[in-house]
Amino acid sequence: MLTRRDLLKMGLLAGGSAMLPLEQALGRNLLRLPGGGNGGSPATTPFLRSLPLPATVQPVAAFSTRCATPGGTVFYEIHEKEGLHSFHPDLPPATVWGYQDVNAPNAPLTPGPTFIGRVNVPAVARFVNDLPTAPRSFGVPNTTVHRHGGFQEDLSDGIPTLFFRPGESYDYCWPNSNPDNDPREGESTLWYHDHLVDFTAQNVYRGLAGFHLMFDDVDSGNENDPNPNALRLPSGDFDVPMVVQDKLFAGNGELVYDSFSHNGFLGDKFCVNGAIQPFFSVKQRKYRFRFLNGSNARFFEFFLSNGRSFVQIGADDNLLPHPITRTSIRIAPAERIDVVLDFNGIPTGTAIFLENRLQQTSGRGPDRVVSHGTQVLKFIVDGPAADPSQVPNNLRELPPINPGAVTVQRRFEFARSHGGWVVNGEFFDPNRVLARPRLGVPEIWTLKNGGGGWFHPIHIHLESHRILTRNGRIPPAWEQGRKDTVVLNPSEEVRIYIEFRQFAGQYVFHCHNIEHEDVAMMGRFDTIL
């Protein structure tokens, strides 16, 4: 099979003029247009289906594993499978790949079931590859699983070249702790997804993604928690993870993907938790919503149709120090935004829409905010409910940093070159090490967007970071917490503080416009003792 990187090396993807003859020679279509026409996906009626809520992964009996298993270790078994998934009642089911808990063989495949972890309770997750070996229109069945935002050894981090094939399995060792056992570093909203070198975009688009939530004594997942350290944020049925993705569909309901759209693939249907424009019945009380942008290249900016504000409490894998009231929320691919919405006082039967007002017409990045956008989700207020939850003024204190003591600084530039995407002028090479940070030594990294009007959300594995400056200025309040993904807007330069403290090994950082990652905007760094 010719990968896109092979084609780049052959000079066949340098421009659109070379692409069509190549595709004709291969006897394939660049993009199979829905229904054979020249438009987008078939029409669908919005708000026919209730918001799907992925089930929680359930433990299994202990098994023999390569992972260390101290007392209290929790074991899981997840199968990667192909199956049919209904995105909307107006469309036939589509063939997807997804994650399935062995305890729930009839559950929907995508998004995958949600892992619930607790601090200092280690877990072993066995992933079994049951994907088909026969060729598909897109996607490659070799897989590796990255727990995005997680703190784990390199062999459990989803090294892009360390994959397992159909018929094989692999055990991921998740310690669910941080090196200093510091409650200020407690994580909240993670997610997991495929990370196969050159094919992450295709495999994630086909469905291989799910949530992983973490709790501790502060963010305890219990709004009735009597512990004085507990925040008592909305919990249980009122703590709702939502992954938002854009998809493109053919007339027969199947997913459409252009394997050669290496600028960033966009769909024209907005899905929440695997359903196109669902509705969600809410009570007259506070809710916690964990938004994940699980799209390949699309940015969103969310507004509420009734003009109410969001109360943001978290960014990426961590809570913020204090809540922030915002009229809109912009979220890039791979970012998570944790918000509280209060429906108290809103009359029963009221409909409120979550609208995306950010126009984007290409993989280059967003164009502009418009006055009226797509209604992604419909909230329907459905009567009263008790509400013991709260949103305190102080959430999670930030651990101290000392940028003035840093002696190691690095610079990485992300740019377009030779029809693909590069870091410091080079395509990703798994054998090329761009940095060797020493454990326990803080560093400052300067991340530079090489221009061209492109947007690059950059994700660094293993450790969260702190944004020091954006274009020489202090970042806005919602970027002043601990993050694992930072957006480089066109021609911007961002300086971050990062310290790798445990797990010597091989890791990567990359653009999370995942077509950019695959061709080949990714770099390897090795943490050393």
CATH number for the segment(s) 237-384: 2.60.40.420
CB 57, CB 288: distance < 8 Å? no
Residue 25: what pLDDT? 27
Average pLDDT, the chain: 93
Predicted pLDDT at 176: 97
Q: How far apart are CA 257 and CA 268, in angstroms?
A: 12
> Strands 443-449, 145-148: parallel, antiparallel or unpaired by DSSP?
unpaired
Return the bridge partners of 191, or none. Answer: 148, 211
* Contacts (Cβ under 8 Å, ≥6 apart) of 468: 403, 444, 475, 495, 496, 497
Which positions of the chain have pLDDT values less than 70? 1-39
Domains 237-384 and 403-527 share a fold: yes
What pLDDT is stored for residue 39 in this prediction? 62
Q: What is the pLDDT of residues 314-329, one digit of tens each?
A: 999 999 999 999 999 9
Tell me how far apart the alpha carbons of residues 131 and 286 are, in angstroms, rounded to a whole number. Answer: 40
Q: Side chain identity at 81, as an amino acid letter?
A: K
Where does 74-219 sit in CATH, by number? 2.60.40.420
CATH code of domain 403-527: 2.60.40.420
Q: Number of helices and strands (H, E) in the chain?
A: 4, 31
pTM of the full structure: 0.94
Among left, alpha and beta (phi > 0; psi -120 to 50; other), residue 233 is: beta
Domain ranges of the chain: 4-30, 74-219, 237-384, 403-527
The Cα–Cα gap between 163 and 77 comes to 17
205: which residues sit within 8 A by CB, 6+ positions away?
138, 139, 247, 255, 257, 265, 296
Q: Where are the alpha helices (DSSP H) in 407-513?
A: none
pLDDT of residue 38: 40
* Contacts for 310 with CB less than 8 Å, ≥ 6 apart: 302, 304, 325, 326, 327, 328, 329, 339, 340, 341
